[in-house]
Amino acid sequence: MQRRHFLGLMAGIALTFSSSLALAQDKFIVVASTTSTEQSGLFGHILPLFTKKTGIAVRVVAQGTGQALKTGEKGDADVVFVHDPVAEQKFVEAGFGVDRKPVMYNDFVIVGPKSDPAKVMGSRNVLDSYKKIAAAKAPFASRGDSSGTHAAELRIWKESGIDVKTAGEGWYRETGSGMGPTLNTASAMNAYAFTDRGTWLSFKNRGDLVIAVEGDVKLFNQYGVMLVNPAKHAHVKVTEGKAFIDWLTSKEGQDAIAAYKIGGEQLFFPNYKPGQNS
Amino acid sequence: MNTITDAFHLALNLIWQFDAELMRIIGLSLRVSLSAVVIGSIIGLPLGAFLALARFPGRHACIVVLNASMGLPPVVVGLVVYLILSRSGPLGTFGWLFTAAGMVVAQVVLITPIVAALSRQVVADLWSEYEEQLRSLGLTRLGAIATLLWDGRFSLSTAVLAGFGRAIAEVGAIIIVGGNIAGVTRTMTTAISLETSRGDLALAMALGIVLLTIAITINAAATTLGNAARRAQGA
């Protein structure tokens, strides 16, 4: 008898928990996005405004751009919001995404230790700075994770004529992790690192790191949003997903993005022009 | 500067102020891990007892695999469950990826082998001790499963607690399957991971202290209840 009570109790507990897990299934969309938008606090600022207006909750899965596009490709998100125009273009051309729109930009900066072993502090020329860092064999921490930031970093290395794959000699180090962990690593070993400004501004464990190089047009970082193609994945929430894309590119959404500041500094600059699609 | 001291202050403040976000994160951690433990035990306890008592070809191989599965790397389990629950995977129609239900599935996979392997040992020991007595009562090996699970319940609670410990502490599986979505699938461990990557080491450490406190409280409560029950039954 006691045994039956015990089993009944266990089953009761199991039911209670599983039913409580099933709650909160209101209207929502899943957005695969990047660590830079999530960790900079932008989403925490703009998403409540969207949800308040439309009643649609936004569930953000923050990944690297490469992984976020993969998530969209597999149909595990309704909307993809990333920053790698080249990869986004391929994604749309391969039929995985539709309705792609440019939303905003921010910029990348190179941070480095105050001691500045490569003597690049205050430079506005990113190619020149990369050459100096390589020549000085100063430690450089790279994401190494196929994210949008990593792709941008590699494009600039390529342009500066330095092959980091063969550079070797231990100064170029791939952390294989997100922006935050890479900055943690850079801060711990006083290395230079290539980061988006948003993550840097909200990053707290800076140690001796400061901004070394900024202001070069090559450091421009464009964000785009697109709907996962409902023709490939029938369960994609087209109405809700489109509502989100439309809001981001509406005056209201663009103003909300511009209004997000850390320490008085604006992080993202909205730049959608009506009728602009790609 | 002193991250560890800051962390203790912050942890006390967070608990003291009953921070709403923190309470929601703790609640979700407990719901997910306790659900996984209950389901894992419902599967694992009888499975362990069956492997202890039944005799069939390939049993030893099963036991070796089971024991090895106690050390399943969470990140691998997370990846496999991710691929299975993905919209492009075999169970995609449920839409469980990036939900609490998906995290429970991943943790059940992690915990069940632990509960089963540990309970197999307990039941095997009990059987060798009471075999003659049970046989004289006319019980077969398989018929004794329920009896031995009931008789060994106090020792078996350790197996269940070990499973719970694994579930509440792991991050590798649930961060992949759950996606660490704020307010939906953010648990204690994934929040710690996030705050570490944001460089807010004091807050991450404070959350760690809160997590440890909860784990200790639950284990203490389970031990106290177990002892009280044992005394009440004169066992």
Digit-coded pLDDT (tens) for A74-87: 999 999 999 999 99
pLDDT at residue B230 in the model: 83
DSSP states along chain A: -HHHHHHHHHHHHHHHHHHHHH----SEEEEEEEHHHHHTTHHHHHHHHHHHHH--EEEEEEE-HHHHHHHHHTT--SEEEES-HHHHHHHHHTTSEEEEEEEEEEEEEEEEETT-TT--TTB--HHHHHHHHHHHT--EEE--S--HHHHHHHHHHHHTT--HHHH-TTTEEE--S-HHHHHHHHHHHT-EEEEEHHHHHH----TTEEEEE---GGGEEEEEEEEE-TTT-TTS-HHHHHHHHHHHTSHHHHHHHHH-EETTEE--EE---TT---
Q: What percentage of chain B carries pLDDT values higher than 90?
A: 68
Asked whether A245 and A97 are in contact (CB, 8 A), the reply is no
Q: Does B101 touch chain A (CB under 8 A)?
A: yes
Does the distance separating the beta carbons of B181 and A204 come in below 8 Å? no
Q: Which of B71, B41, B53 is nearest to B157 (CA)?
A: B41
pLDDT at residue A22 in the model: 47
Query: Tell me: the pLDDT tens digits for A219-237?
Result: 989 999 999 999 999 999 9
Look up tokens 């599983």; give the residue. Answer: A18
Dihedrals phi, psi of A30, to nearest 5 degrees: -105, 125
Count Cβ–Cβ pairs < 8 Å, chain A vs chain B: 89
d(CA A100, CA A102): 7
Does the distance separating the beta carbons of A177 and B38 come in below 8 Å? no
Query: Nearest-CA residue of chain B relative to A180?
Result: B197
Question: What is chain B's Cα-based Rg?
Answer: 20
- Closest Cα in chain A, distance from residue B195 (Å): 9
Q: Does B233 touch chain A (CB under 8 A)?
A: no
* Partner residue opposite B146 with nearest CB, options A3, A178, A179: A3
User: What 3-state DSSP class applies to B235?
Assistant: coil
Q: Does B182 touch chain A (CB under 8 A)?
A: yes
Q: Which two structure tokens, joined as six digits, stand for B141? A: 């090996």
Query: How far are the Cα atoms of A56, A87, A120, A278, B4 from residue A68, in angstroms, in the given order?
Result: 21, 11, 33, 19, 34
pLDDT at residue B143 in the model: 86
- pTM confidence score: 0.83
Average pLDDT score over residue span A44-61: 95
Does the distance separating the beta carbons of B87 and A75 come in below 8 Å? yes
* Superfamily grouping for domain B3-233: MetI-like (1.10.3720.10)
> Which residues of chain A neighbour B198 with C-beta distances below 8 Å?
39, 180, 202-204
> Which residues of chain B neighbour A35 with C-beta distances below 8 Å?
197
Does the distance separating the beta carbons of B41 and A10 come in below 8 Å? yes
Residue ranges of chain B with per-residue pLDDT less than 70: 1, 234-235
* Partner residue opposite B182 with nearest CB, options A60, A178, A202: A60
The DSSP symbol for B86 reads S
pLDDT at residue A176 in the model: 87
Query: Tell me: the pLDDT tens digits for A189-214?
Result: 999 999 999 889 889 899 999 999 99
User: What 3-state DSSP class applies to B183?
Assistant: coil
Q: What percentage of chain A carries pLDDT values higher than 90?
A: 69
> Which residues of chain A neighbour B194 with C-beta distances below 8 Å?
39
d(CA A54, CA B152): 55
* Partner residue opposite A235 with nearest CB, options B95, B184, B197: B95
> Which is more confidently placed, B19 or A243?
A243
B100-136 and B59-69 helices, crossing angle to 10°:
140
Contacts of B139 (CB under 8 A, 6+ apart): B147
Q: Which two structure tokens, joined as six digits, stand for B235? A: 């066992």
Count of C-beta atoms within a 10 Å radius of residue B219: 13
User: What 3-state DSSP class applies to B54?
Assistant: coil
Count of C-beta atoms within a 10 Å radius of residue B74: 22
Contacts of B74 (CB under 8 A, 6+ apart): B106, B110, B170, B171, B172, B173
Query: Tell me: the pLDDT tens digits for A3-18?
Result: 555 555 555 555 555 5
Does the distance separating the beta carbons of B88 and A74 come in below 8 Å? yes
Q: Does B196 touch chain A (CB under 8 A)?
A: yes
Type and span of the H or E element at B41 = helix B20-53
Query: Tell me: the pLDDT tens digits for A160-187?
Result: 998 888 776 689 999 988 889 999 999 9
d(CA A40, CA A164): 28
Q: How confident is the model at residue A153 (pLDDT cuts 50, 70, 90)?
A: very high
Query: Tell me: the pLDDT tens digits for B73-115?
Result: 999 999 999 999 999 999 999 999 999 999 999 999 999 999 9
User: What 3-state DSSP class applies to B1?
Assistant: coil
Which of B3, B181, B196 has the most A C-beta neighbours within 10 Å, making it the best mutation to test the interface with A? B181
Q: Does B198 touch chain A (CB under 8 A)?
A: yes
Does the distance separating the beta carbons of A35 and B196 come in below 8 Å? no
Considering only CB atoms, which residues of chain A are within 8 Å of chain B? Answer: 2-3, 6, 10, 13-14, 17-18, 20-22, 24, 30, 35, 39, 44, 59-62, 74-76, 177-181, 183-184, 187, 202-206, 233, 235
Count of C-beta atoms within a 10 Å radius of residue A168: 10
- Say if residue A247's pLDDT is above 60: yes
What residue spans define the domains of chain B? 3-233
Task: Return mean pLDDT, chain B.
Answer: 91
Q: How confident is the model at residue A24 (pLDDT cuts 50, 70, 90)?
A: very low
- Say if residue A140's pLDDT is above 90: yes
pLDDT at residue B138 in the model: 87
Domains contained in chain A, CATH given = 2-105+222-270 (3.40.190.10), 107-219 (3.40.190.10)
Does the distance separating the beta carbons of B197 and A10 come in below 8 Å? no
Does the distance separating the beta carbons of B88 and A75 come in below 8 Å? yes
Look up tokens 């389901």; give the residue. Answer: B39
- Closest Cα in chain B, distance from residue A274 (Å): 31
Does the distance separating the beta carbons of B86 and A39 come in below 8 Å? no
pLDDT at residue A23 in the model: 45
Q: Which of A141, A116, A126, A153 is nearest to A191 (CA)?
A: A141
Q: Does B225 touch chain A (CB under 8 A)?
A: no
Average pLDDT score over residue span A243-248: 96
- Say if residue A147's pLDDT is above 80: yes
